[in-house]
Amino acid sequence: MTSARDRHTVGPDELLQQMRAEDGLYVLGCFERRVTLASQQVRALNLVYALHERRIVPTNGAILVVGGGVAGMTAAAGAARLGYKVTLVEQRDELLPLLRGNAKRWLHPRVYDWPEPDAEHPEADVPVLPWRAAPAGEVVEQLERQWKALPELPRIEVLLSARVVDLGQGAPRRVSLNAPGLKRREVAAVILAVGFGLERRVEGVDFVSYWDDDNLDQSPRRSPARYFISGTGDGGLIDAVRARLRGFRHDRLLADFVGAEELGSVRQALLDIEHEAVAREIRSAGSARDHLYDAYEGLGEKYADVLDASVDAAIRERLRNDVTVVLGGLESVPFSLGASILSRFLVSRLLFAFGLAYHPGGFSRISRAPDGYEVQFQLGGPERFDRVICRHGPQAAIEREFPPIWEKCVQPMRAFASLDQTRWPIYKRAYERAP
C-alpha cells in the first residue's frame, strides 16, 4: 500500500522555508490542513531539529516558544533536550487549557491517518512527551506526567498569564512581554505555536465548543428530533456521524466501522483518490472537491458488495430512528482536503447509502423557535430544527494576536500546507538521550 509518507518527503531546509515568517521567527502548525496532537508534536520536533541541524540557533542559545498547548510544550521540551535554554509563554494561567476535563472527545495519535498503514497504533510515536490514546482529559494527565518527569525541565522557563507585546526584529531578537510586568528576553529564534485560536460563535446559536462535553450521542429528550450540523471540517463531519448513529464511541471508530480485512482494496482506492485530489488542488484550487465527490460515489458502486457487508452493515445496525440529521456547508459538496479521509469516507456512506441530507451554500439566518431553531437557507423556505451545532472553525490566533505576521504569512504558508510535507519525522534519532 502506497502511503502519503512515501509520496511526500521534506528536508530541514525545505521545512524551514515552509515555517519561516522572517529572520528568527517561525510559525508552527497554524496553517496546516492535517492537524492532530501527534502530527503537531512531530512538526514541533521537526522544526526544532531543523533549527539545530542548520545551526540557526547556536550552541547554548535561547529559544522563545509562544503557546502552551501540545505543540508549544513539545517544541520547548525538544529544544531543551538539544541543549537550548527555553522560555515557554502561555497567555492563560495553565498549560494545555483547551483539552482539560473533556471526557467525550477521544484523542488518538493516528486515527485520522486512516487508511494509512498502522493507523490503529494507539501510541504516539514521538521521543518527547509520548502519550497513549484516551479521552482528552486523560491525555492531558499523561502529558503533564511526562512534562514533570523531563530531565531537561530546569532549562525551561514557563511564563503563565503572559502576553507577548513586541516580537522584536532579526536574529537574534529581543522579545518583550507582560508576564505580568514587563519582561524582555533575547533569543536566537521565536516559535509561534499559538494553534488555531478559539472557535467562531454564531449569533442565535447556543455555543458549545468542540472541546466541551456534550450529549450529542445520547437519546434526545424529545423524539423524533431533527438536528442541523453546520460545517464540513472534521468537527462537523464527525458530529454528523455521532448524531446519526446509536451507541457511537469515538475510541472504537476504526474497529466498529472500518476494521474489516476485506476493506484492503477500498483502503488503497481511498489513498489513490486522495493522491489525485491533492494533485488537482495544487494545479487548480477547488477542483479537489468535485473529484472527491465523484470518486466516493464511484467507490460505492465499484465496491458495493464489500461495503454492504462491512461498513454499511455496521452503520445500518446503528442507525437511529429517533434522530435525523441535516449537514450544511458553504460549498456544493461536503468533501474537502481540510478534513480527514476517515471522516469524509464515513459521511460519504451516510450520504450515498443512507440518505443523509446536505444543504450547500450556508444559511442566511438562524433564529430561535419554540423548543428549537428556525434556519433560513439560501434556497427554499425556513426549516425547523430541535438542535443546531455550528463547527465553523476558529478565528486564527495569529490573525488576532499578531496581525502583521498573519498578513505576511497567510498566503504562502497555506500554499505550503497543501503539500502536506511537515507531519512526517525528519529528526531520526536526534532526541534520544545519551545512556
Q: Are 341 and 330 in contact (CB under 8 A)?
A: no
Q: Is the pLDDT of residue 331 over 50?
A: yes
169-214 pLDDT, tens digit each: 998 999 999 998 999 999 999 999 998 666 778 888 888 877 777 8
Cis ω for the linkage preceding 180 (within 30 of 0): yes
Give residue 77's pLDDT.
Answer: 98
113-122 pLDDT, tens digit each: 899 888 888 9
CA dihedral 205, 220, 321, 297 (to 10 degrees): 30
Q: How far apart are CA 241 and CA 318, in angstroms?
A: 11
211-267 pLDDT, tens digit each: 777 888 888 888 899 999 999 999 999 999 999 999 888 888 888 999 899 999 999
Q: How confident is the model at residue 393 (pLDDT cuts 50, 70, 90)?
A: confident
Q: Is the pLDDT of residue 2 over 50?
A: no
Q: How confident is the model at residue 139 (pLDDT cuts 50, 70, 90)?
A: very high
Give residue 248's pLDDT.
Answer: 86
Residue closest to 330 by CA, chosen among 290, 375, 361, 292: 361
> What is the largest distance, in Å, between two alpha-carbon atoms of the chain?
70
Q: How far apart are CA 288 and CA 341, in angstroms?
A: 13
Give residue 286's pLDDT.
Answer: 58
Q: Are 17 and 27 in contact (CB under 8 A)?
A: no
Query: pTM to 2 decimals?
Result: 0.87
What's the average model confidence in pLDDT over 3-9? Answer: 53
DSSP annotation of 185 reads E
- How big is the CA angle at 183 (ends 180 and 188), to the nearest 5 degrees? 135
400-424 pLDDT, tens digit each: 888 898 888 888 877 777 667 788 8
Q: How far apart are CA 386 and CA 371, in angstroms?
A: 7
Inter-helix orientation angle 37-53/12-19, to 10°: 110
* DSSP-based three-state secondary structure for 356: coil
